Structure 1
Amino acid sequence: MAALVGAVVAALVLPVSPALAAPTIPTGGTGSLTIHKFETPDSGVTVGTGEALPSATTDAWTPVPGVTFRVRQVNTIDLTTNAGWDAAAALADRFNAAGGDVNSITSGSPAYTLGAAKAPDAAVTDGDGIQKFSALPIGLYLVEEVGVPTQIDGENVGVTPAAPFLVTVPITNQAGNEWLYEVHAYPKNAVISQPEKTVTDSGVVQVGDQTKWTVSAEIQGTPADLDGNGVIEGNQEKYHFDFFAMVDDLDPRLKPLTGGDYNLTHFEVKLSGGVTSDEVIVLRDYYSVGYTAATNQLRMVLRADALAMLPDHHGGTITFTFYTTALESGTISNTADVYTHQYRAESGSVVRPEPGTPGGPATTTTATQKFGGIRVLKTDDANQALAGAEFEVYTGLLPSGAPDPAKKVTVSPTGGTAVATWTSDANGELVIDGLRYSDWADGEDIDLDDSDVVGDADGEDAANASKFITYYLVEVKAPEGYSLLGAPVKFTVRDQAAETGESDLDVVNVPVNAGFQLPLTGGTGTTLLFTVGGLLVAGGVVYLLAARRRRGQAAADTTSTLALQ
C-alpha cells in the first residue's frame, strides 16, 4: 500500500543508520508534535518530511478547525538506541503494509502496547487548523484523528477522519544532518458537503409499497505517493482511494429488497461529474452488496476497478440507490455512513469505527418517511355503537363520485396479512393503519398550513400538489337494520391512529329507509286494499248488470211502440 501524505511519517524518513545521521539523542529528552489540518489541496502536494512547510505553500490551503487528534506512545521502543530505531523501522514497515491497521501494532509479532493519550495544548485544532502536543518524551507515537466537526462556518460538512499514522519524536531533517525535535505533520483529507440521504415515496400509499432511498456523497480522495518519488501528481495520486463503502443500519421497521440479482434488480451505483469526466457511469459489476438480517444492515463496497475510476470523478458525486418496504406504521428516520478508510480495530476483529473516531465515516443527512392511520367510530343517530359495518378505502373517485376501483387500497405489510376491508367491532370501532401521511412525501412536509391544499401558503411548492393523498372511506356493508352511507367519506392521515376510546373520524348510520316503513305484502294493509278492491269490483258487476237490464227494457219498449203503429 502506498504511503499517504502525512501518514506513516516514520516509515518514510527513518534512516538506515540513525547513529550516523545526527548527534546522539539525549536520554530523557523531549520534543513536540504540531499537527496542521488542512483540506486536501488540488495541486502542489508533496510528501511530508517532518519539517514545517513554508507559508508560500500553505497560504492557499484551507485550514480545518475543530478537529481532535489522539497521540499515544508505542511502549518499550527506546529511540536513544540503535536497536530502538531498528524496532521502530520494522514496526513502521509492518504498520504500512497493513494499511495503517492499529491492530498490527498491538497484536503483531512482536506485539506492543500503547501508552495513555497525551494532553494537547488545546482541545481541538484552532482557526489555523493547528493542534500542538508539547513536552513529548522521545519515542515513537501513534497519531489518530478522533473527532471531526460537523459544521464549518455554520455549514454542515462531512469530514472523514484521516488514517492513523506513526511518527517519531525526534526525526531527522531533510538534509539528514540533524535531529528535529519540533516535528510537524500535515494529515490531509477532504472536507466535503455533508453526504445526503433522500427518500422518494410520493408514489407510496401504504406499508408494503416499495420505497426508493438514495445515498449521495461528494467524491474526494486522499493524496498518495504511489510511485514513491516524493511528489504527488496526477489524478490517481492526488485523489487516491484504497477503500470506499456506504453502510446503512436500517430502521427495524424497514426491510430492504434483496432478491434476484443484487447489482441489477434492487440496487444501483453510479458516478456523475468530476475533474476529467462529466458523464454518468452506472457501475454494474464493480461493487458488492451485503445484508445482515440480524442487524438489518445494508452495505455497498466498491471493488478495486471502481476505486480506480473515482479519481477522474473528483468533485463529482457517487450515489447508491436501494429499495425497501415498511413493516408497520410510524415515523421512520434513517441516516447512512460513508467510509473512505478500511474498517480497522485494535481488538483484532473487524468492526466499524463510529463517526468521529479514527477511520470513522461521514454521516449523511436524515431522511424520513411517515405512515399512520385513523380510528373510526361507527354509531347510529342516537350515538349508539354499531358493530359489523364493513368499509373499504380508496385514494380517488370517478367523475360520477363513485370510488375508482383502480384506486382501492390494500394494506399489505411485508410478511403480514393483506387487509382490504375493515369491520367495526362491538364498540363500533375500527382502525385503518399503515397509510402514508397525506401531507408528507419525499421526506418533507408538503402542506405546511394543514389546509389540505398544497401551494396556498408561503413555503409550499405547488408542484407537490400531486403528492398529497386524500383518502375516501366507502361503506360496503351496513349493520343489520341500517342503510349504507350515501357517499364516500373523505379523510386525511396526519398522525398515528387515536387511542382506544377516542376517534379520528365519526361515521353515523341511519335506519333502513331513513326510519320510514314501507307497505308489506301479506299484511293488514294489503288485506284492506284487497277488500276495498273486491267491493269495487262487485259494485262494478252490479252496475254492469243494472245497465244491461236498462238497455234491454228500453229495446222492448221500442219494439212495442213500432208494433202499435
Structure 2
Amino acid sequence: MEQLKKQRIARILGALLAAVLGALTILVAPHAVAAEGNPDLNRTGSITVHKYAKPTWQGLKNDGTEQTAPAGAQALSGIEFKVQKVEGLDLKKAEDWNVVSKLTAKDDAKVTANGKDYNLGVASSQITGAGGVAKFDNLAAGVYYVTEGTDSGNNNVTEKAKPFFVSIPFPNSSEWLYNVHAYPKNEVVQPAAKTLDDTGFKKVGENLVWNISYNVPNVAEGKDYSKAGVTDKLASYLKFVSAEVKVGDTKLDAADYTTSDTNNFVTVELTQSGLAKLKGQAGKKLNFALKTTLKELPADGKVENTGANFFINDMKKPTPDTPPTIVPSDKAVLGNYRLKKQDKDTHKILEGAEFKVYEKDTDTEVATAKYVGNGIYEFEGLYLKKIGQNEDTTGITKQFTLKETKAPAGYVLPTEGKTITVTAGKTTNDDLVYDNTKQTGPSLPLTGAAGQLLLTIGGVAVLAIAGGLYLYSSRKRA
C-alpha cells in the first residue's frame, strides 16, 4: 500500500515538473529570435544590381528598395559585377555597425576604415542580362563590396560605376531590407560613326578618306581623360597614308596624337597633350580622318572598310582580333573598261596608241588607259559613285567620254570622242573595237610602162595637132 502511494506521488511530481519546464520554455524561447525592431542576422538576403546608362534619374530613392525606371532609361546588359564579403565585421556588434559607413576601398583585396584594414572574401561574379539586371542570392548577413568589371555587351562604357558597399540587412527608414536593390549608373558614349570622303577621287591609285567620329563624353569632376583613339583593320586593297584629328572644328597638332600601322591594323591614339585638349569639350565631336590609298580594285568592285573600333577612358583598347563595332555608312563602287585597237582595213592589232576617259561631255580628265598586250587597252578601277553600305551594286553604271589622244605611227588620230558605259565590279568590254585609218602617203612620180604609155599618147596628140595646123595654113595660102 505504501509502495503505491509513493508511485502516485512520483507521477504527480513528474507532471508538475514537466509543466514547469514547459512554461520555462515558453518564457525563454522568444529570446532566441530577434525582437521585432532588431535585424535578423540568421536570415540570408540578396543584392540585385540594376545597370543603366547616365544621366542619373530624377527622384530616385537611394534606399535599397526596387525602383521604377523612367521612360527612355537605357538598361545595359553584358556588364560584369563582382560581390565580395568584407571579412572581420560582426553585425551583431554595435561598434562594427559604426565601421560600415566609414569603409573605403584600398585595393582589390582589402578595404579600410578608421585606419584598419579588412580583407575581402572570394569574389562572386554575375553579368547583367536583359533589363540590365544581375542578382546575387543566398548572401549571409554581413557587409559586401560591389565592383563593376568588364563590358562584354559593347555598351561603350567610358566610365565605370564607382565601387560601393551593401549591408545585409540594409537599414531602410521603415524596415530592415534583406533583398537590396542598387542602381549604379555608367557614363556611356553613343556608337561611333564612320563615313567615306571621296572628294577628288577618280580611280584606283588615288586616296580615299575614312572619317571615324564619336562625341567626347563627360568625366567626373576632378578626373582627366585617360585614353582616346580609334583602330581600323584595313582591307588588303587599302594602304594607310596618314591621319588627322579634330575636336569640334579645331584641328589637333601632330604632337597631340600618334599613328601606327602593323600589318594593316591602324591605330590612332591621343597623347597626353591631346587628351588635355579634350577637357571642357564634352559633347563635341572627336573625328579621326584616316587617309588611305586604293591599291587595287576588289573583284566585286566594292570598296568597303568595315574593321573599325574606338576607345576612350575605361573602354578596353581594341586588338587586331577585336570584332569591329563600327558600321560604315557608305562604300565606293568602281569598275574596269577594256577596248581593242586595230587597223580599219586589215583588222590587224595596233600598238602605240593612247586613250583617256573624261567625265561625260566635259574636259575633266579621269584616267589614262594602260596597254596590256594583244591590242587591248584597259582602264582599271574607274570610280562610279558612293552608295549606302547596305545598297546593292547590281546594275550600277556610269558613262564616260573616251578619246584617243595619240594614234599609232602612220595612222590618223580621230577627232571625235565616244561615249562608253562602265558597270560596277566588272571588266566591261562592250565589244568595242577602235579602228584607225592609215595616213595618206606622199605623191609618187609616174614611172614604168604606165608612164611611157601616157607619154606616147601625149606625143601622138601633139603631132596630130601640129599636122592639123599645117593643113589649115596650106589651104589658107592657096
Give your verdict on TM over 0.5.
yes
What residue number does 2:246 align with? 269
Q: What is the rounded CA distance, in whole Å, between the counterparts of 1:470 and 1:34 in structure 2?
A: 65
What residue number does 2:107 align with? 91
Question: Structure 1's 248 and 94: CA in aligned 2 closer, same or farther, altered over 3 A?
Answer: farther
Alignment of 1:2-401 (within 5 A): 31-41=45-55, 51-52=63-64, 55=67, 60=70, 62-65=72-75, 67-72=77-82, 79-80=87-88, 89-91=105-107, 118=125, 124-126=129-131, 129-136=132-139, 140-148=145-153, 159-160=156-157, 163=160, 166-168=163-165, 170=167, 182-190=179-187, 193-222=190-219, 224=220, 226=222, 241-258=225-242, 267-271=244-248, 280-284=249-253, 287-301=256-270, 303-311=274-282, 314=283, 316-330=284-298, 331-335=302-306, 336-342=308-314, 352=319, 363-376=326-339, 386=349, 388=351, 390-396=353-359
SS at match of 1:247: strand
SS at match of 1:310: coil
What residue number does 1:3 align with? none
Q: What is the rounded CA distance, in whole Å, between the counterparts of 2:444 and 2:345 in structure 1?
A: 30
Question: Structure 1's 179 and 339: CA in aligned 2 closer, same or farther, altered over 3 A?
Answer: farther
Structure 1 residue ranges (4+ consecutive) displaced by more than 6 angstroms after TM superposition: 23-27, 85-88, 111-114, 353-356, 379-385, 444-449, 480-486, 517-520
Q: CA deviation at 1:41?
A: 1.9
Question: Structure 1's 450 and 383: CA in aligned 2 closer, same or farther, altered over 3 A?
Answer: farther
Question: Structure 1's 489 and 53: CA in aligned 2 closer, same or farther, altered over 3 A?
Answer: farther
| Superposition RMSD in Å | 5.2
The answer on whether the counterparts of 1:71 and 1:144 sit within 8 Å (CA) in structure 2 is yes
Question: Structure 1's 450 and 365: CA in aligned 2 closer, same or farther, altered over 3 A?
Answer: closer
SS at match of 2:464: helix
Question: Structure 1's 298 and 225: CA in aligned 2 closer, same or farther, altered over 3 A?
Answer: closer
SS at match of 1:538: helix
The answer on whether the counterparts of 2:360 and 2:419 sit within 8 Å (CA) in structure 1 is no
Q: What is the rounded CA distance, in whole Å, between the counterparts of 1:113 and 1:329 in structure 2?
A: 59
The answer on whether the counterparts of 1:159 and 1:362 sit within 8 Å (CA) in structure 2 is no
Q: CA deviation at 1:542?
A: 0.7
- Aligned residue type for 1:291: S
Question: Structure 1's 30 and 255: CA in aligned 2 closer, same or farther, altered over 3 A?
Answer: farther
What residue number does 1:435 align with? 382
The answer on whether the counterparts of 1:483 and 1:510 sit within 8 Å (CA) in structure 2 is no
Q: CA deviation at 1:196?
A: 1.3
- Aligned residue type for 1:79: E
SS at match of 1:221: coil
Question: Structure 1's 379 and 299: CA in aligned 2 closer, same or farther, altered over 3 A?
Answer: same
- Scaled by the length of structure 2, the TM-score of the pair is 0.66
Pick the aligned partner of 2:404 from 474, 479, 483: 474
SS at match of 1:553: helix
- Aligned residue type for 2:420: F
Q: What is the rounded CA distance, in whole Å, between the counterparts of 1:396 and 1:505 in structure 2?
A: 19
Q: CA deviation at 1:92?
A: 5.2
Pick the aligned partner of 1:407 from 356, 365, 380: 365
What residue number does 1:261 align with? none
- Aligned residue type for 2:276: D
The answer to which structure, 1 or 2, has the higher relative contact order (CA under 8 A, 6+ apart) is 1
Question: Structure 1's 287 and 492: CA in aligned 2 closer, same or farther, altered over 3 A?
Answer: farther
Q: CA deviation at 1:367?
A: 3.9
Q: Deviations over 1:200-221 (max 9, x none)?
A: 2153111232323222223432
What residue number does 1:100 align with? none
Higher strand share: 2
Out of 163-172 and 376-385, give the one that drifted further: 376-385
Larger radius of gyration: 2
Question: Structure 1's 549 and 509: CA in aligned 2 closer, same or farther, altered over 3 A?
Answer: same
Pick the aligned partner of 1:508 from 401, 426, 433: 433
Q: What is the rounded CA distance, in whole Å, between the counterparts of 1:192 and 1:297 in structure 2?
A: 22
Question: Structure 1's 187 and 508: CA in aligned 2 closer, same or farther, altered over 3 A?
Answer: same
SS at match of 2:239: strand
The answer on whether the counterparts of 1:378 and 1:506 sit within 8 Å (CA) in structure 2 is no
Question: Structure 1's 511 and 71: CA in aligned 2 closer, same or farther, altered over 3 A?
Answer: closer
Alignment of 1:516-555 (within 5 A): 521=444, 527=448, 529-550=450-471, 552-554=473-475
Question: Structure 1's 70 and 60: CA in aligned 2 closer, same or farther, altered over 3 A?
Answer: closer
Q: What is the rounded CA distance, in whole Å, between the counterparts of 1:125 and 1:186 in structure 2?
A: 15
Structure 1 residues not aligned, in runs of 5+:
1-22, 96-110, 150-157, 227-236, 259-265, 272-279, 345-349, 410-419, 453-467, 558-565
Answer yes or no: is 1:423 the counterpart of 2:368: no
Q: CA deviation at 1:474?
A: 3.2
SS at match of 1:423: strand
SS at match of 1:334: coil
Question: Structure 1's 197 and 256: CA in aligned 2 closer, same or farther, altered over 3 A?
Answer: same
SS at match of 1:194: coil
Q: Deviations over 1:158-184 (max 9, x none)?
A: 7436527645554796899x9975444
The answer on whether the counterparts of 2:369 and 2:377 sit within 8 Å (CA) in structure 1 is no
Question: Structure 1's 130 and 197: CA in aligned 2 closer, same or farther, altered over 3 A?
Answer: same
The answer on whether the counterparts of 1:192 and 1:220 sit within 8 Å (CA) in structure 2 is yes
Q: What is the rounded CA distance, in whole Å, between the counterparts of 1:509 and 1:449 in structure 2?
A: 28
Q: What is the rounded CA distance, in whole Å, between the counterparts of 2:200 and 2:354 in structure 1?
A: 23
- Aligned residue type for 1:407: E
SS at match of 1:189: strand
Q: What is the rounded CA distance, in whole Å, between the counterparts of 1:209 and 1:171 in structure 2?
A: 66
The share of aligned pairs that are identical, in percent, is 17
The answer on whether the counterparts of 2:145 and 2:164 sit within 8 Å (CA) in structure 1 is yes
- Scaled by the length of structure 1, the TM-score of the pair is 0.57
SS at match of 1:144: strand
SS at match of 2:49: strand
